[in-house]
Chain A
C-alpha cells in the first residue's frame, strides 16, 4: 500500500517536473501622459531586463505578456506583477488582465503604488508570478527594476509610520552647567590685594601719629568696663564667625543678645571714661 502510494507520488513528481507555466512575448513600455514617445523593451523569462525602467510621475508603465502552460498559450488563474520595495520587503501585487488566449496586460502608474514606494531610495523590483490549479508548476521570475523619477516641483509625499509598540530611544537629562569660578591665581591675587589693605591702613595710621598711649590711663580709670567693652566687641565678631562656620540663627540670637547687653552696659561706662578724657582736653 505504502509502496504504491510512494510510486504514485513519484509519478506525480515526474508529471510535475514535466509541466510548468511560463510566459512569452513579454514587453514593457513606458508611455508619457501626453502620449508621443513610448519606450518599448522586450524581456523574457530567461533574460530579464538589465537596465532599470524609468517611471516618471505622469508616466504609465504597461506590461504585456502571453502566459503559457508547457509552451501552449493558456489562461492561468494567478497572473500578477508584484512590485517589491527592497528596504522593507513590502510588496504590492498587480493582477494582469488575462484573455482566454493567455494574453495578459497591466498598466501601472505612480499613483497606483503605495506611498512608501515613492520614498524608497533604491529601485523597485518587479517580478511576474504565474500559476494555476493542477499539476503545472507555477513560476515567479524577477523581470526588471523600476526607477521612480519624482517630479521636483511636486511636493514630496508624506508617510508617517504607524505606531508600533517597542523600545524607545533612551533619554538622559542634560544638567545645567555647574557655576564657574575664575582661575584660582586671579582669585588668590585679588584676595591678597584685599588683605594687603589692612597693613596699609595700619601703617598709614601709624604714620599719621596713631598710638595707644591712653590705654594705661583708660585701664587705670575703668579697667573692668574697658576690658569687657572691647572684649564684647571682639566676642560679637566671634559670634559672627561661629554663625559662618557652624551655628544656625537659633544659636546666634541668644548669644548675640547676651553679648549685645554686655556691650551696652560696659559701653556706657567705658565711653563715659572716653568722654571724660575729652572734656579734660586730653583728646
Chain B
C-alpha cells in the first residue's frame, strides 16, 4: 500500500514537473468547437506537454477569465473568429487585467477573418498596430510557395528567424536546418518603439501588406513593407506576462505541419518547420522556455585573515568583496543552469543612487540545475548605503532584478597605516623624540646641576634675595 502511494506521489511529481512554470490551465477561444479538428496536431502537442485545455466560443456565457478576483486560466489562446466583437466576457480591459495578473495570451490572427475589435484595442494598448482596414494580407512576390500559392503569392516561405541583434538567446531557429516556415494568408503588424516589444518573425525585405478588397489592382497607400512588418510579435510585460501575436493562425493547422513546400528558385521540395516553430512559440508564450530564476545570492569579504561569513550587513571602504549569483533557466520541463548567450553578460552593479561599479560576472561553476556567476572587486572609497544589484533584462527572457543592501563604513582610526610606515612623518617623529629627550635632560639639569663655578655665584645670590 505504502509503495503504491509513493509510486503515485512520484507519478504526480513527474506530472507536476512536466508543465509550464506558470500553470497548465489553457483556454482556447475559437469560433466553433468543431474547428479544433484542423489544429489537431497542435493541440495534441500542447496536451502532450500537460496542458489542460478548455475550448470555448466567445458567445458562451460560462466563459470567465476571473472568478472571485483570481484567474481561472493561466493561458489564453485566441484562434480567429468570425464575429466582430468578443462579447462582454472578453473586453480589452478584462484581457489587460488578465495580463496584469500574469496571464499569458497567444493571439492567432488571420487575413481571412477580420480581427475582433476587442483584440485590436488590446494590441493598440500594447503598441502593436494592425492595418486599419482589418482586412489586410501580407504577400511577397519573391518568397512564396509555388506549389500552393502560384497565383496569389500569399503563402510566404521564410527561414527560421535568427536573433535580430547579437547577445539575444536563439530560441526559434535552433536545429531548423534548411527547413522553411510557411506563413499562409497572414496579417502583418507594425511594432512601436518600446523595449518590451520584440518581433520573433519579420517579413522579408520585399514583402508588403495590402487590402485585397480595395487594393486588388494597385497599391496606392502602403501600410508597411519589408522588415517593418512583423509577422510574429511578442510583448513581455514588466510582470513577465507574455503576449504573442501570430499573424497567421493557419500556420498552426495540420496541413502546414511537416508539409512540403517549394521556393521560387530554391531546392525543389523542402519540409516546413511549422510544427517545431509552433511548439516553440507556444512554449515561449506559456512560460515553458526563456524563464529565469535566481537560486541564491552570496557575497562575502575576500580579505586574507578576515572572517568570511556569508552576506554580512557591513563592509569597509576599499575591502575586497566576492559576489556570486546562481541562475537557472527553465527548459520545457526542468531547470537547467542558465548559460548567458554569446556576446552578452550578466552584470553586477554596486550602486548608491547611481552605479559606482558595473562589472561583468564570470562563470564560476556549473551545477546540475544552476550556473554560478561571480566576481571579486574592491568596494569604492565612499561610505554609505550601497546595493549589490543584478538587473538582467533581455528580450525573450524573464526579468531578473535582485538587490542586496549593505552599509559601507569608513576606515576606523586604527585601520590606517602607522605613522612610522609613512616616510613623510619621520621628521615629526624625530621631533617628538628630540622634545622628549630634551625635556628629560632639562629636568635632570634643573634638579641636579650645580651653579657654574667663578662668576655664576653672584648671579644666584642676587636671585635668592
Seen from chain A, the residues whose Cβ lies within 8 Å of a Cβ on chain B are 9, 12, 16, 75, 77-78, 80, 82, 91, 93, 95, 97-98, 129, 131-135, 137-138, 140, 162-173, 175-176, 181-182, 184, 187-188, 190-195, 197-198, 201-202, 205, 208-215, 218, 226, 230, 233-234, 237, 270, 274, 278-279, 281-283
In the complex, which residues of chain B have a beta carbon less than 8 angstroms from the beta carbon of A16? 146, 264
CA distance A278 to B448 in the complex (A): 11
The 5 closest A-B pairs by CB, nearest first: A131-B141, A209-B452, A213-B450, A138-B141, A181-B424
Measured CB to CB, the nearest residue on chain B to A97 is B220
> Are A187 and B426 in touch, CB under 8 angstroms?
yes
CA distance A16 to B444 in the complex (A): 122
> Are B141 and A9 in touch, CB under 8 angstroms?
no
CA distance A82 to B206 in the complex (A): 9
> Are A165 and B449 in touch, CB under 8 angstroms?
no
B171 contacts chain A at the CB level, 8 A cutoff: no
> Are B443 and A209 in touch, CB under 8 angstroms?
no
B4 contacts chain A at the CB level, 8 A cutoff: no
> Are A201 and B195 in touch, CB under 8 angstroms?
no
B213 contacts chain A at the CB level, 8 A cutoff: no
Q: Is the interface of A mostly helix, strand, loop or mixed?
A: mixed
> Are B423 and A187 in touch, CB under 8 angstroms?
yes
Given contacts A91-B226, A129-B206, contact A167 B347 (CB under 8 A): yes
CB distance from A283 to the nearest CB of B (A): 6
Measured CB to CB, the nearest residue on chain B to A75 is B218
> Are B146 and A12 in touch, CB under 8 angstroms?
yes
> Are A213 and B153 in touch, CB under 8 angstroms?
no
Seen from chain B, the residues whose Cβ lies within 8 Å of a Cβ on chain A are 139, 141-142, 146-147, 150-153, 165, 167, 193-195, 205-206, 208, 210, 217-220, 222, 225-228, 262, 264, 268, 318, 344-345, 347, 349-350, 355-360, 378, 380-381, 393-395, 422-427, 429-431, 433-434, 436-438, 440-441, 443-445, 447-453, 456, 460-461, 464
> Are A164 and B219 in touch, CB under 8 angstroms?
no
In the complex, which residues of chain B have a beta carbon less than 8 angstroms from the beta carbon of A212? 444-445, 448-449
Given contacts A182-B424, A198-B437, A237-B440, contact A172 B449 (CB under 8 A): no
> Are B193 and A194 in touch, CB under 8 angstroms?
no
> Are A205 and B347 in touch, CB under 8 angstroms?
no
In the complex, which residues of chain A have a beta carbon less than 8 angstroms from the beta carbon of B139? 78, 133
Measured CB to CB, the nearest residue on chain A to B228 is A91
> Are A233 and B430 in touch, CB under 8 angstroms?
no
In the complex, which residues of chain B have a beta carbon less than 8 angstroms from the beta carbon of A274? 447
> Are A164 and B456 in touch, CB under 8 angstroms?
no
CB distance from A6 to the nearest CB of B (A): 8
CA distance A194 to B448 in the complex (A): 26
CB distance from A167 to the nearest CB of B (A): 5
Measured CB to CB, the nearest residue on chain B to A80 is B225
CA distance A9 to B145 in the complex (A): 12
CB distance from A20 to the nearest CB of B (A): 11
In the complex, which residues of chain B have a beta carbon less than 8 angstroms from the beta carbon of A181? 422-424
> Are B423 and A237 in touch, CB under 8 angstroms?
no
Measured CB to CB, the nearest residue on chain B to A192 is B430
What are 27 A-B contacts defined by CB distance under 8 Å?
A77-B210, A78-B139, A95-B222, A133-B139, A134-B150, A134-B151, A164-B165, A166-B394, A167-B345, A171-B355, A171-B358, A173-B381, A175-B380, A176-B381, A181-B424, A182-B423, A184-B423, A187-B425, A188-B423, A190-B426, A190-B427, A191-B427, A195-B433, A205-B441, A209-B452, A213-B448, A213-B449
> Are B449 and A211 in touch, CB under 8 angstroms?
yes
CA distance A176 to B378 in the complex (A): 13
Q: Pick from B141, B195, B394, B436: contact of A162, CB below 8 A.
A: B195
Q: A134-B151, A182-B423, A194-B434 are in contact. List 14 more A-B contacts (CB 8 A).
A: A164-B195, A170-B360, A191-B430, A198-B438, A209-B451, A209-B453, A209-B456, A210-B445, A213-B450, A214-B450, A279-B464, A281-B464, A282-B451, A283-B451
Measured CB to CB, the nearest residue on chain A to B317 is A175
CA distance A137 to B265 in the complex (A): 10
In the complex, which residues of chain B have a beta carbon less than 8 angstroms from the beta carbon of A226? 447
Measured CB to CB, the nearest residue on chain A to B454 is A209
> Are A270 and B452 in touch, CB under 8 angstroms?
no
CB distance from B384 to the nearest CB of A (A): 13
Q: Pick from B344, B426, B437: contact of A167, CB below 8 A.
A: B344
Which one of A82, A194, A237 has the highest number of Cβ atoms from chain B below 10 Å of its Cβ?
Answer: A194
In the complex, which residues of chain A have a beta carbon less than 8 angstroms from the beta carbon of B217? 75, 77
> Are B219 and A77 in touch, CB under 8 angstroms?
yes
In the complex, which residues of chain A have a beta carbon less than 8 angstroms from the beta carbon of B355? 171
Q: Pick from A82, A162, A278, A282: contact of B193, CB below 8 A.
A: A162
In the complex, which residues of chain A have a beta carbon less than 8 angstroms from the beta carbon of B152? 133
Measured CB to CB, the nearest residue on chain B to A93 is B225
Measured CB to CB, the nearest residue on chain A to B152 is A133
In the complex, which residues of chain A have a beta carbon less than 8 angstroms from the beta carbon of B226? 82, 91, 93
In the complex, which residues of chain B have a beta carbon less than 8 angstroms from the beta carbon of A138? 141-142, 206
> Are B448 and A188 in touch, CB under 8 angstroms?
no
> Are A170 and B434 in touch, CB under 8 angstroms?
no
> Are A167 and B167 in touch, CB under 8 angstroms?
yes
Measured CB to CB, the nearest residue on chain A to B236 is A165
Measured CB to CB, the nearest residue on chain B to A172 is B357
Given contacts A140-B206, A187-B423, contact A168 B438 (CB under 8 A): no
> Are A93 and B440 in touch, CB under 8 angstroms?
no
Which one of B153, B210, B359 has the highest number of Cβ atoms from chain A below 10 Å of its Cβ?
Answer: B153
In the complex, which residues of chain A have a beta carbon less than 8 angstroms from the beta carbon of B464? 278-279, 281
Given contacts A97-B220, A198-B434, contact A168 B358 (CB under 8 A): yes
CA distance A182 to B167 in the complex (A): 50
